[in-house]
Amino acid sequence: MNPVFTAPAFAPAAPEIILAAGTLLLVLVGAFRGERSTGLVTAGALALLAVAAVAVMLMPTQRITTFNGALITDSFAKFFKVLTLIASGAGLVLARDFFRREGIDRFEFPILVLLSTIGMMMMISANDLIALYMGLELLSLSSYVIASFHRDDLRSTEAGLKYFVLGALSSGMLLYGASLIYGFTGTVSFPGIATALKTGEVGIGIIPEILKATPFHMWTPDVYEGAPTPVTAFFAAAPKLAAMALAVRLYIGAFPTIVDQWQQIIVFVSIASMLLGSFAAIGQTNIKRLMAYSSIGNVGYALIGLAAGTPEGVQGVIVYMAIYLAMTLGAFACILGMRRGNVWVESIDQLSGVARTRPVLAFCFAVMMLSLAGIPPLAGFFSKFYVFAAAIQADLTALAVIGVVTSVVGAFYYLRIVKVMYFDEPAGTFDAMPTEVGVVLAVSTALVLLFVVLPSPLVRAANAAALSLF
């Protein structure tokens, strides 16, 4: 375990403080200027995210704690915070044209995204159960509003309500589990919990039961379908990164001595997620619902690396989530390109023959689908390779085999989209893609294609981030 240095001030929380102070300033700008300030507030939010990303990258690589050990900064936190800030910024960029055309371009949206980003960054740096819960609730409360941001649309309102009800229930279960952990260990600190388990001061038989209070995913398809498409893109990218980072830090940081006990839970959740994501998506006709089940399946694949409980497994999780971010943003940029007039179509059938009418869009979308399916030599293949290899090294060969099988099943619905685009008769042409959406798509496609040529920067950064936890 690397030495931990206690910072004399609040420097380790500088990125979060920058976002919080900037968000308060943008609230005042929006309150005084009204809807006229939407463009200015959005630009300010993007600038804040960029400044926060620079502040994160300037942080030292050694482990530093602040707020009496509640928050921790290390290479792992730095890596995931940068990815989260990129995902939030991309979400704002993707939303600009869509919200303007839908007549819901209001200054509150970038402010809510900033607040949720602060929550996600707290989750990533959480070093005790209280900080964990505070970050999760800040993210959740902002997300409930974001999901129902199109308040005049019935589906969006329904999505926000479903998200709120199930989020409240899972939040209560999380609090219950945290209270049990505190009751049995006498501390909320992750290192303190690990010490209590190591010294035998708590009956560890109760811990696996406590850890079963995991977040629900039943809301995912309905929220993905009902929320505005840029909101869906944001949900599919940023919160997934923060949640996975939180899970890794919690299990590796607080329960390193009982890996055999929580490993079986992670294996079960991983298998369930992969099976649901692979089979439930087969009959979907709505592209956003399909992406919802794809998201669930991808979480299952990432959890394979966590189940290994080794530095190689954590490195696999980090590589997987970084590549998943590029694939997800690229896929949703393509979905936002499915527009005729001021109407965005969501049916997979509407992609018929798009390779003839919009060949660039079809190519980029095919790259994303094939990468999500794990077809070599695209980046998605290597993301799965890293987690499967880590599972085999940790003697979880059966889990890796199940992952390969479900990946083959899932390839069916990804390849079906490619088939519809390239072999079916055209159903009509789409309008030109907005410039900002095109930039996101171009960057994502380049990253997915070029990973096989230049994988070392990401792999080295992921390795350093993984080792900082052990």
- The per-residue pLDDT string of the chain (470 residues; one tens digit each, 9 = 90 and over) reads 455 544 456 788 899 999 999 999 999 999 888 878 889 999 999 999 999 999 999 998 888 888 888 899 999 999 999 999 999 999 999 999 999 988 888 899 999 999 999 999 999 999 999 999 999 999 999 999 998 888 888 888 888 888 888 788 878 888 888 888 888 888 999 999 988 887 765 444 334 333 433 345 566 788 888 888 999 999 999 999 999 999 999 999 988 888 888 898 899 989 999 999 999 889 889 999 999 999 999 999 999 999 999 999 999 999 999 999 999 999 999 999 988 877 888 899 989 999 999 999 999 999 999 999 999 999 999 999 999 999 999 999 999 999 999 999 999 999 999 999 999 988 778 888 899 999 999 999 999 999 999 999 999 999 999 999 98
pLDDT value for 211 = 44
pLDDT value for 217 = 59
C-alpha atoms less than 13 angstroms from C-alpha of 437 in its C-beta half-sphere: 24
In 3D, which of 284, 256, 323 has the Cα closest to residue 414?
Answer: 284
Give the pairing type, strands 339-340 and 343-344: antiparallel
Classified as helix, coil or strand, 214 is coil
pLDDT value for 201 = 52
What is the Cα–Cα distance from 374 to 44, expressed in whole angstroms? Answer: 38
Q: How close are the terminal C-alpha atoms of the chain, in Å?
A: 5
What is the Cα–Cα distance from 302 to 385, expressed in whole angstroms? Answer: 11
pLDDT value for 216 = 52
Distances in whole angstroms, Cα of residue 463 to Cα of each of 238, 317, 468, 470: 21, 10, 9, 11
User: pTM (2 decimals)?
Assistant: 0.92
Could you count the other beta carbons within 10 Å of the beta carbon of residue 6? 11
In 3D, which of 246, 389, 233 has the Cα closest to residue 324?
Answer: 233
Q: Which run of H or E residues covers position 319?
A: helix 311-336
User: If you ran DSSP here, which 8-state letter would residue 128 be given?
Assistant: B
Classified as helix, coil or strand, 13 is helix
Determine contact, residues 89/19, Cβ cutoff 8 Å.
no
pLDDT value for 203 = 42
